[in-house]
Chains A and B, each alone.
Chain A
Amino acid sequence: MSSYAKPLKIALGLAVIAGLIVVPMNFNRYGLFILSQWAVMSIAAMGLNLTLGYAGQVSLAQGAFVGIGAYAAAIMTTHGWPLPAAILVAIVLSFAVGWVLGYPALRVQHHYLAFVTLAFSTLAFLVFRNESWLTGGIYGISNIPRPHIFGIATNKPLPFYYVCLGSLAIVSLAVWWLIRSPWGRAFMALRENPLRAQSLGIDTRRYTLMAFAIGSALGGVAGALYAPLTQYIDPVPFNLSLSLDLLMMVIVGGAGFYFGPFLGAMIAVLLPEWLRFTEGYYLMLYAVAVMLLLIWSPTGILGILDRYMAARRTKAASALRAVAKSRLETVQ
């Protein structure tokens, strides 16, 4: 790797962060809402990326965990609890439910596991819709308050956008730490070769359950932010299509790449907005764009970058080998 690559990366990262803080100051209400939604969906997609991209466990239930987090936050904050407490409860609740949902993954894998999690997704939706004593049923929960953070009211779109962005930053750092820890490596071992992992002392059962639980907990965090963002929730946004959307974000961005969910969420949240000028055609164009991308690069957008870097590395390595060989020949 060249010596200027690292400072360049850091500079780019800082520029993006500064941009995310400064640029939206001029945005209107709607622009801020979309950007906040991007931050929230990035958190949920990061959770799924952990479960699916790193640990290789297919889940079609991430949307249900967003729902669990959203209802937990909506119910608690409308009863006077502060949002941070609600986020904590959302984390614990979705961690516990995610842990239990992990048990089927110890027996079934791949599309069988997808079906198990799909069934769970449907079950969660039915609970949101039918248990109206708790969730308000089809009428949902309205007037969800936005929090005061350090005494500052975040009712207005810009302050609440910063709440979402700040949460995204915290979650990003935590996930970065996690995937670089031995746990992250163990998750990748589950994905790459569970048989070998077992024989190296990796407790595949425990790590599988952890992958589900942690990924789900991040879904819960996203949900707990989604509720005060929209300030009104009903069961519809948390049906199966949200799980499929989140799955698409992870796949399109690049499953198993750290930055995949950020990109995937950007495309899923922003692209439909940018294509809105095409009016009736925007969903079709969006669908075609996604299909073309996945045909071109089944490993997502970051997969393209990865392939390009790998090709450059190989080229550099073979150039080095050629030089070494010619030197050897001159010596002889």
Chain B
Amino acid sequence: MSAVLEVTDIKKSFGGIHAVSGVSFDVREGEILGLIGPNGCGKSTLFNCILGQLTPSGGEVKLDGQVVTGLRPSELNKLGVSRTFQLLQVFPKLSVRENLILAGQEHQGNMASRLVGRSDAGLTDAANQMIGFFKLDHLAEEPAGGLSYGQQKLLDAAMAFMGGPRLVLLDEPAGGVNPSMLADLKERLVAINREKNATFVVIEHNMEFVMSLCSRVMVMAEGKVLAMGRPDEVRKNPAVIEAYLGH
């Protein structure tokens, strides 16, 4: 399998603090890679460097073999890289449906056609499909800010999938989501992964969720890669137990 994402020696420091100090890994097409590690180990900073939200102090990011380091988040998104956020990031005053339409609209046409062309062009249908897929039907007209935390998390995930991305980086999708909804979310993620051939990288603290969802798991500690491997391997790794999982 070829690599969708290749990350080589990414570094990021804030003043004297080295948040990420030389991380390299690759993500194979169609896989679900877990990314775990203690709080403050640099997981989210790494995500932000890959996604262009932060400019890395060094290193290189390749998407399908093309160097994409330094591209803006919007440009990366148009190349098929999408993300969800650790903290809620929806458009609170817009309805659930409008949130999803917004998430898809920049993936069709150009600036001119988005102004003078037909303003819908299948977007509402696509949004409704996504609403059905994430079982948000009864909330479609509600302002996103009025949804519960877990529902907003689902919406956030649904938005990430609107443009039909190839690679999705999910930052703690299970955080604050109740157990029954979590099973649902996992099922949705697996379905999208298989049916749409989308590749995922998932940051998560919920071990059960990560271990059952991911084909490989990468463990970070203090800005570096501590271990990488199949979930059962990683779980037995003494260094990982020492740094993160505990005895």
Number of A-B contacts (CB under 8 A): 85
A181, A195, A200 pick with most chain B CB within 10 angstroms: A200
By size class, the interface of chain A is 20 to 34
Q: Give the chain A neighbours of B83 by CB distance below 8 A.
A: 199
On whether the beta carbons of A202 and B74 are closer than 8 Å, the reply is yes
Stretch binding the partner chain, chosen from A121-129, A184-192, A242-250: A184-192
A204 to chain B: closest residue by CB = B74
On whether the beta carbons of B74 and A198 are closer than 8 Å, the reply is yes
Interface size on B, residues (CB 8 A): 31
| Complex Cα gap A185–B85 (Å) | 21
Q: Does B72 contact A (CB under 8 A)?
A: yes
On whether the beta carbons of B115 and A199 are closer than 8 Å, the reply is no
Q: Give the chain A neighbours of B51 by CB distance below 8 A.
A: 199
**Complex interface bits, B125-165 against A, C-beta within 8 A gives 1, otherwise 0:** 00000000000000000000000000000000001001100
On whether the beta carbons of A181 and B114 are closer than 8 Å, the reply is yes
Q: Give the chain A neighbours of B64 by CB distance below 8 A.
A: none
Q: Which of A191-208 contact B (CB under 8 A)?
A: 192-193, 195-206
Q: Does B227 contact A (CB under 8 A)?
A: no
- Given known A188-B91, A192-B92, A193-B91, contact A198–B53 (CB-CB < 8 A): yes
Q: Does B106 contact A (CB under 8 A)?
A: yes
- Given known A185-B105, A193-B90, contact A199–B82 (CB-CB < 8 A): yes
**Complex interface bits, B99-130 against A, C-beta within 8 A gives 1, otherwise 0:** 00111011100010011100100000000000
Q: Which of B77-97 contact A (CB under 8 A)?
A: 77-78, 82-83, 85, 89-94
A195 to chain B: closest residue by CB = B89
Q: Give the chain A neighbours of B73 by CB distance below 8 A.
A: 198-199
- Given known A199-B77, A200-B159, A201-B74, contact A186–B105 (CB-CB < 8 A): yes
Q: Give the chain B neighbours of A287 by CB distance below 8 A.
A: none
Q: Give the chain B neighbours of A182 by CB distance below 8 A.
A: 105-106, 114-115, 119
> Which residue numbers of B lie inside 8 Å of A, CB to CB?
51, 53, 72-74, 77-78, 82-83, 85, 89-94, 98, 101-103, 105-107, 111, 114-116, 119, 159, 162-163
Taking A200-B162, A201-B106 as known contacts, 20 extra A-B pairs with beta carbons closer than 8 A to each other, sorted by chain A number, are A183-B115, A186-B106, A188-B91, A188-B94, A188-B102, A192-B94, A193-B89, A193-B91, A196-B90, A196-B91, A196-B159, A198-B53, A198-B73, A198-B74, A199-B51, A199-B77, A199-B85, A200-B102, A203-B111, A204-B74
Q: Which 10 interchain pairs have the tightest Cβ spacing?
A: A201-B106, A201-B77, A192-B91, A182-B114, A198-B73, A196-B89, A182-B105, A181-B119, A200-B103, A203-B74
> Which residue numbers of A lie inside 8 Å of B, CB to CB?
178, 180-183, 185-186, 188-189, 192-193, 195-206
19 A-B contact pairs sorted by A residue (CB < 8 Å): A180-B119, A182-B106, A182-B114, A182-B119, A183-B114, A186-B105, A186-B114, A188-B91, A188-B102, A189-B102, A197-B74, A198-B77, A199-B51, A199-B73, A199-B83, A200-B82, A200-B102, A200-B103, A200-B106
